[in-house]
Amino acid sequence: MNALEVSNENPAPDAAPPSCDVVVVGSLNMDLVTRTPRLPQPGETLTGSGFSITQGGKGANQAVALARLGASVAMIGCVGDDDYGPVLLANLAREGIDHRGVRIEHGCPTGIAAITVDDSSQNSIIVVPGSNHALTQADIEPLDTLLRDARLLVCQLEVPLDTVRFALQAARRHGCTTLLNAAPILPLDDALLALVDWLVVNEIEAAALAGQAIDTPDDARAAVAHLRRRGCRNVLITLGAQGTVAALGDELRHFKAQKVAAIDTTGAGDTFVGGFGAAIAQGLTPEAAIRLGQAAAAIAVTRTGAQTAMPYRDEIASQPSSHRET
């Protein structure tokens, strides 16, 4: 099935929602991906070498990664009433994700992401939120049962911040562990950070939250200390090829990355969140969860696309491990 075909696999809308390991509250986009030798300069026109349309959005990406890596997942979000909306719903159904919490916003386009990937595997992304910005607190209230029964709530920042805050508060009331991937970065107050059990950010997002440049693992360690003072319980800063710096309780640790030949880093962070979150929801240790997230991301960057690159759990089990810790 290609990106624009529609499936009729959606579950009955009035069926009782089953329990799940993880609830994802977040965005659904259609990704419009171009490949170029290098990223263009302002005012410059380049000839691209490829184009594809694939399913994306940080929320949906993380939901797919979670499902492929062993978690049962429910998705809460919003799509438009254009041609892209049914495609995104059908894709969630194919991945075995409960999408009864994904609402269709009439008269609104589905979110899109315009992604350019260069020959060195770096990317630049422009997101047009569309229907994602129509997701409200009212969309989450009917799914209180899911939040009560789930082991983990996963949020990002491609939907309104008030909606994210409401979801985190609801999860806290029900004793559900919370994970916030603070991307794309927005100003966050300490009260919101105090609702987060696991803050996952890359070096750019961490730098914005901590107010300092992050170029090395030592820089990340200093940023982690700052974020802990702001109320974050546990902090993970992903540094790409330099690995992950993690504050786990009172411990500060550096997990080095597996060396791979990357061809496309699009969706690598979402894949890491999926692996880490799936492991946490299954009761694995934080150390094992980080290693699973890193192993999944290491596979994903050797493939093209976001969801199209995300591995399944059995693929990771067959890969040799080369992780080290400092």
Catalytic residues: 270
- Of 165, 166, 164, 168, the C-alpha closest to 150 is 168
Rounded to whole angstroms, the Cα distance separating 260 from 304 reads: 14
Q: Which two tokens stand for residue 195?
A: 């609702």
Contact (Cβ atoms closer than 8 angstroms) between residue 232 and residue 300 = no
Rounded to whole angstroms, the Cα distance separating 79 from 29 reads: 8
Rounded to whole angstroms, the Cα distance separating 191 from 114 reads: 33
Contact (Cβ atoms closer than 8 angstroms) between residue 169 and residue 181 = no
Three-state SS at 77? strand
Burial zone of 132 (CB within 10 Å; 0-12 exposed, 13-18 middle, 19+ buried): buried
Q: What letter would DSSP give residue 259?
A: P
Strands 98-105 and 73-80: parallel
- Of 25, 22, 104, the C-alpha closest to 57 is 25
Instruction: Put the strands of the sheet holding 198-202 in their side by side order.
Output: 98-105, 73-80, 22-25, 152-155, 177-181, 198-202, 234-238, 244-248, 251-255
CA 23 to chain centre: 12
